[in-house]
Amino acid sequence: MSYDTIILGAGAAGMMCAAHCGGQVLVIDHAKAPGEKIRISGGGRCNFTNMYAEPGNFLSQNPHFCKSALARHTQWDFVGLVDRHGITWHEKTLGQLFCDGSSKQIIRMLLDEMARAGAELWVQTALRDLRKTESGFALEVEREGKRIPLTCRNLVLATGGKSIPKMGATGLAYDIAHQFGLQVVKTRAALVPFTFPDGRFKDLSGVSVPARLSNDRISFDEALLFTHRGLSGPSVLQLSSYWREGEMIRVNLIPDLPLFDLLRDQRQAGGRKALTTELARHLPGRLVDHLRHHIPMQGNLADQSDVALADLVTRLSDWRFTPSGTEGYRTAEVTLGGIDTDDLSSKTMEARDVPGLYAIGEAVDVTGWLGGYNFQWAWSSGHAAGSAIASC
Ligand SMILES: Cc1cc2nc3c(=O)[nH]c(=O)nc-3n(C[C@H](O)[C@H](O)[C@H](O)COP(=O)(O)OP(=O)(O)OC[C@H]3O[C@@H](n4cnc5c(N)ncnc54)[C@H](O)[C@@H]3O)c2cc1C
């Protein structure tokens, strides 16, 4: 059986690409159903893009690589597609766009677009063999217990990263990249909770506060969630993509609160309340209870000097820890690193030295922030490869 294009991976990027390739297209996936990560994303509502997506929201060894694809299929192009399919949506926070209904609507939309383009989809299909031929690629796949030989002119790697192996994530794209001589930037788990071995925040499990998390290079102002294993929540996930083993992180628990002024005003108004009681008006009570074992906060407000209050405020705005690690690929939302962008064209996603071989989506060394950016990269890179294939 011969196809113009075979796409490995029926995830966000692979389906988007299939809808734009033209010609005879086959999409292959080993999972039972396409778009499983879309289905579970955004708590079942899919944070499908971000209003403010721009190249600065993406990590890569080459920060310029993503520019071309993002400019040629923007968040507004994707919103237009969503609108044409009658899917209603809303902004939750920080430009993050979610379906009003279900993430399954996005999968349905992509399947409809693929069907309109005449693309075929084979699920529960495993790749058994792959080699280069003079005119393209020869594959052998296993489907319903049968080995099936296939050939194609274009082969698109869209099998994603290593995050959440339980959901079928594999390193197949990296293995194929190596097979054809492409470099792979070392991968690591990203958008992932931090762990601490000593059960350090166990007593705070479930407490969430607005916070500013920083390392020496970047800061994120979003919610911080304490868990029985360590720290999670959007600010932690964001910082994890920029964190390296052994590095200290800094937590500001009062990023937008003029706490010194508030405490001083209360002290002037009488100050007969315990300092911890007053603090519990601004921070969760369980957090104050935990902090009083680490930060001096005995006595009433009236007992506190300006120096003591200033010291307290400094400690609350610059709490420092060194995580022992992260929860790894088991719970990471994405994989940092991947197929080296130096070996790909930023316009077409085609391998520079292997004509007909393309790589898109999370498999490539482009990783977005939390908040719809990773899907936007999948749509933009899938569109770039699909359009390039359609025009050749
Ligand atoms: C829990 C969770 C929530 C997320 N929420 C969001 C969100 O709300 N917004 C956002 O922007 N991003 C989110 N992400 C990230 C986003 O899902 C990914 O960045 C995006 O799906 C990547 O698209 P992709 O097509 O490159 O890879 P995937 O969507 O991962 O698709 C890869 C496909 O390849 C298949 N495959 C893998 N290995 C093989 C193999 N060996 N043989 C055959 N097929 C194979 C897989 O079954 C899968 O269907 C979330 C991720 C997770 C894990």
Nearest-CA residue for atom 27 of ligand 1: 160
87/99 Cα distance (integer angstroms): 7
* Backbone Cα Rg of the chain: 25
Alpha carbon of 38 to ligand 1 centroid (Å): 7
The closest-lying atom of ligand 1 relative to the alpha carbon of residue 49 is 11
With a 6 A CB cut-off, is 381 part of the ligand 1 pocket?
Answer: no
CA angle, 197 as apex, 195 and 202 as ends, to 5°?
Answer: 75
CA distances from 330 to 127, 162, 189 (A): 24, 9, 9
pTM greater than 0.95 (yes/no): yes
With a 6 A CB cut-off, is 361 part of the ligand 1 pocket?
Answer: yes
The closest-lying atom of ligand 1 relative to the alpha carbon of residue 47 is 8
> What pLDDT sits at residue 200?
87
With a 6 A CB cut-off, is 189 part of the ligand 1 pocket?
Answer: no
Among 35, 32, 74, smallest CA distance to 51 is for 74
Nearest-CA residue for atom 37 of ligand 1: 159
Per DSSP (E only), the strands in 47-170 are 47-50, 58-59, 89-91, 96-99, 120-122, 125-132, 137-143, 146-157
Give the pair of three-digit tokens for residue 34. Answer: 């396409």
Among 203, 254, 246, 255, smallest CA distance to 226 is for 203
- pLDDT in 10s for each residue of the chain, 392 residues: 999 999 999 999 999 999 999 999 999 999 999 999 999 999 999 999 999 999 999 999 999 999 999 999 999 999 999 999 999 999 999 999 999 999 999 999 999 999 999 999 999 999 999 999 999 999 999 999 999 999 999 999 999 999 999 999 999 999 999 999 999 999 999 999 999 988 889 999 999 999 999 999 999 999 999 999 999 999 999 999 999 999 999 999 999 999 999 999 999 888 788 999 999 999 999 999 999 988 888 899 999 999 999 999 999 999 999 999 999 999 999 999 999 999 999 999 999 999 999 999 999 999 999 999 999 999 999 999 999 999 98
> What pLDDT sits at residue 271?
74
With a 6 A CB cut-off, is 50 part of the ligand 1 pocket?
Answer: no
The closest-lying atom of ligand 1 relative to the alpha carbon of residue 46 is 8
> What pLDDT sits at residue 31?
97
Give the pair of three-digit tokens for residue 367. Answer: 């990783």
Alpha carbon of 162 to ligand 1 centroid (Å): 9
Alpha carbon of 286 to ligand 1 centroid (Å): 36
Ordered structural domains, the chain, with CATH: 2-188+336-390 (3.50.50.60), 193-326 (2.40.30.10)
- To which H or E segment does residue 114 belong? helix 104-117
The closest-lying atom of ligand 1 relative to the alpha carbon of residue 168 is 47
Question: Are 254 and 313 a contacting pair, CB within 8 Å?
Answer: yes
Nearest-CA residue for atom 9 of ligand 1: 372
Among 52, 92, 35, 26, smallest CA distance to 378 is for 35
Alpha carbon of 190 to ligand 1 centroid (Å): 13
> What pLDDT sits at residue 129?
98
> What pLDDT sits at residue 192?
98
With a 6 A CB cut-off, is 159 part of the ligand 1 pocket?
Answer: yes
Q: For a substitution probing ligand 1, which of 50, 79, 339, 374 has the most ligand atoms within 8 Å of its CB?
A: 374
With a 6 A CB cut-off, is 372 part of the ligand 1 pocket?
Answer: yes
Alpha carbon of 16 to ligand 1 centroid (Å): 13
Alpha carbon of 106 to ligand 1 centroid (Å): 14
> What pLDDT sits at residue 197?
83
Query: Chain centroid to CA 160: how far?
Result: 12
What is the DSSP pairing of strand 47-50 with strand 96-99?
Answer: antiparallel
Question: Are 234 and 208 a contacting pair, CB within 8 Å?
Answer: no
> What pLDDT sits at residue 353?
98
Q: For a substitution probing ligand 1, which of 7, 32, 41 has the most ligand atoms within 8 Å of its CB?
A: 41
> CB under 8 Å to 71, separation ≥6 — which residues?
none
Amino acid at 331: T
**Conformation bin of residue 5: beta by default, left when phi > 0, alpha when psi is -120 to 50:** beta
> What pLDDT sits at residue 270?
81
Nearest-CA residue for atom 30 of ligand 1: 160
